[in-house]
Amino acid sequence: MAVAAVIALALHLSSASLSAAQVDPLGAWNDGVAKRAIVEFVHVTTTPGPAFVPPDERIATFDQDGTLWVEHPMYSQVVYCLDRVPVVVKAKPELANQEPFKTVLSGDREAIAKLSKHDLEIILAATLTGMSTDEFVADVKGWLATARDARWKRAYTDLTYLPMIELLKYLRDNGYKPYIVTGGGQDFVRVYAQAVYGIPPEQVVGTAGGIKYAYDKDGKPYLTKEPKLLLNDDNAGKVEGIHLMIGRRPFAAVGNSVGDQQMLEYTKAGAGSRLSMLVLHDDAEREYAYGPAQGLPDTKVGTFTQALFDEAHRDGWVVISMKRDWNRVFAFEK
Amino acid sequence: MAVAAVIALALHLSSASLSAAQVDPLGAWNDGVAKRAIVEFVHVTTTPGPAFVPPDERIATFDQDGTLWVEHPMYSQVVYCLDRVPVVVKAKPELANQEPFKTVLSGDREAIAKLSKHDLEIILAATLTGMSTDEFVADVKGWLATARDARWKRAYTDLTYLPMIELLKYLRDNGYKPYIVTGGGQDFVRVYAQAVYGIPPEQVVGTAGGIKYAYDKDGKPYLTKEPKLLLNDDNAGKVEGIHLMIGRRPFAAVGNSVGDQQMLEYTKAGAGSRLSMLVLHDDAEREYAYGPAQGLPDTKVGTFTQALFDEAHRDGWVVISMKRDWNRVFAFEK
């Protein structure tokens, strides 16, 4: 009887795992080169054999803008900063007649879209610093709860790619620790990364500024965000960020633009089996299409050059075609 | 019969955990204020109740030098740097007649001990940068394998405090994630932190320099350690490092000198139950005794002022007396 009970239990467990296995963990991915490369990579690095990777070395790094969520027509964080300009100007009224604040306040979308990189840097510095870290978190949370993107009329955090959410979970279920490595603000992304991606603050590497340590009137310490750049987490800075905050080379990395080039090279150059992947935005209908690799005009937001495309092929990176490889883009799609 | 088998299994499991519980996980700690504070803190933060902390928020930060291992008469990393001076001078012979290299090469221990902070910074910059990150790891490993401290004639990594190794394990066993937050070099400590403390590279926060991304003759990327300071992880810089690399406030922090003051304040100022602790070096026989809090002359290495001692009492930090609280200091002691 005891043996029968054990067998019954074993059968139950076995059928439970079988039915779990029947649900494809990468169901939003079409069967193709990209999906097969992912499954093969995970298989060989988690199965005893020459490419096996010990669990604590299973590091995967993901760019965010254009890789995990929509980056067009403008990075969500830049929208946040533009939305914050009136608050900053209210506190410092003299800015109202100074550029680039004047243009932002005018509400002229075309003029705003034409702001230079230097203009944007001034806006980012003015809107992302000078408050305490606690105030910043509260403000970003408030903005995320109410701001809606212009095309889908949805919260920005709804605009994450379902196949990538699946991939993050699939990697985690196989012992991988996924990090976000973003050119965006580390403090900004950390506000929602746990809820949206299941990625805790300590696994978010991003562009980071200094903080000032001070005491309030009750002698309690608090931190203020300073306009001092600690880490510019883009291009080679992404590898610097990985070295600084992770301290080991990833086994897998995913990006979508020239800012991810060095991260993908560095990952792929490691010993053993490594997976470097690039998301190609080639689906204007369901999302956007951009980058000269598709014969489309280039973009300042998420630049994907022909040279990057060529390097991907030469270096064995997997190119993910949004159009061909994803049968669903967003979770809210039917 | 099935029921009997289940009961037998339950009894077996129960007795196994009982016998495990009989081995005190903090056996090197004497029963006293410090040990009780640790056990109480872990109990209330891991048991359902008002002070419960969700597992993913259980962050603990440890200073290294003087907290996890011996720092007197000189930080181990400084010894490493001094030992590396001949190699650096061989590559750049013109340094042989320049200070402070000339003094280091003279081997005059008294003169070396008198080198200024500025002299040491020159030596650190010259010996810790300019090589690839891979070369650096290999060099530190080689040094650790052969270098012996003058007093115990043992590898520096043997000079870790057994009670702290127990505390790290005790915290981990209770769902805490311990980090090292050190004024020492992040790249240096990462070489041995996993093997010595069970702390992986991504949980080591330390003073960090920039890296340069370049390609070797085969087009493979490699990283060079640059003489550019990214993070000075000492004093308020420790809180900056915690914010940068962990992104949340620790629930427990342990230090031993003025360089840890802000980390301990910041930790203790958080909501709920928080544990801030200071190791007092008051055991000249088994280790060292220093700091004016003991009426001893102050030291440049691990400064522990009367003001820090006073703040500890005022702010409810636990002071760990090496002499009274630890029945063993090192694992190699009988």
A100: preceding bond cis by omega (within 30 degrees): yes
CA angle B229, B232, B238 (to 5 degrees): 150
pLDDT in tens, A56-82: 999 999 999 999 999 999 999 999 999
**Dist. CA A104–CA B128, nearest whole Å:** 46
Residue A18 has pLDDT above 50, yes or no: no
Contacts of B1 in chain A (CB under 8 A): 1-2
Pairing relationship of beta strands A204-215 and A177-185 according to DSSP bridges:
parallel
pLDDT in tens, B166-206: 999 999 999 999 999 999 999 999 999 999 999 999 999 99
Q: Is A32 on the interface with B (CB under 8 A)?
A: no
Q: Is B175 on the interface with A (CB under 8 A)?
A: no
Nearest to B128 by CA among B204, B203, B221, B209: B209
Nearest by CB to B190, from A208, A221, A247: name it: A247
Chain A interface, best mutation among B215, B240, B266, B267, by max A CB count within 10 A: B240
Kindly report the nearest CA distance between residue A1 and chain B, in angstroms. 6
Residue of B18 and B39 predicted with greater confidence: B39
Residue B99 has pLDDT above 70, yes or no: yes
What would the mean pLDDT of B140-150 be, rounded to a whole number?
97
Counting residues of chain A whose pLDDT is more than 90, the rounded percentage is: 85
Beta-carbon count within 10 A of A224 CB: 16
What would the mean pLDDT of B298-319 be, rounded to a whole number?
90
Helix (H, G, I), strand (E, B) or coil at A52: coil
Provide the pLDDT confidence category of residue A19 given band limits of 50, 70 and 90: low
Nearest by CB to B247, from A2, A201, A266: name it: A201
Nearest by CB to B247, from A202, A248, A269: name it: A202
Paired with B319 in beta bridges are B278
When the pLDDT of each residue in chain A is averaged and rounded to a whole number, the result is 92
Residue B4 has pLDDT above 60, yes or no: no
Chain A interface, best mutation among B6, B213, B228, B317, by max A CB count within 10 A: B213
Quick one: tokens of A324? 């061909």
Length of chain B: 334
pLDDT in tens, A246-262: 999 999 999 999 999 99
pLDDT in tens, B204-261: 999 999 999 999 999 999 999 999 999 999 999 999 999 999 999 999 999 999 999 9
Put simply, whether the predicted model's pTM sits higher than 0.95 gets the answer no
**Dist. CA B230–CA B228, nearest whole Å:** 6
Contacts of A5 in chain B (CB under 8 A): 2
**Dist. CA B290–CA B302, nearest whole Å:** 8
Provide the pLDDT confidence category of residue A10 given band limits of 50, 70 and 90: very low
pLDDT in tens, A108-141: 988 998 899 899 999 999 999 999 999 999 999 9
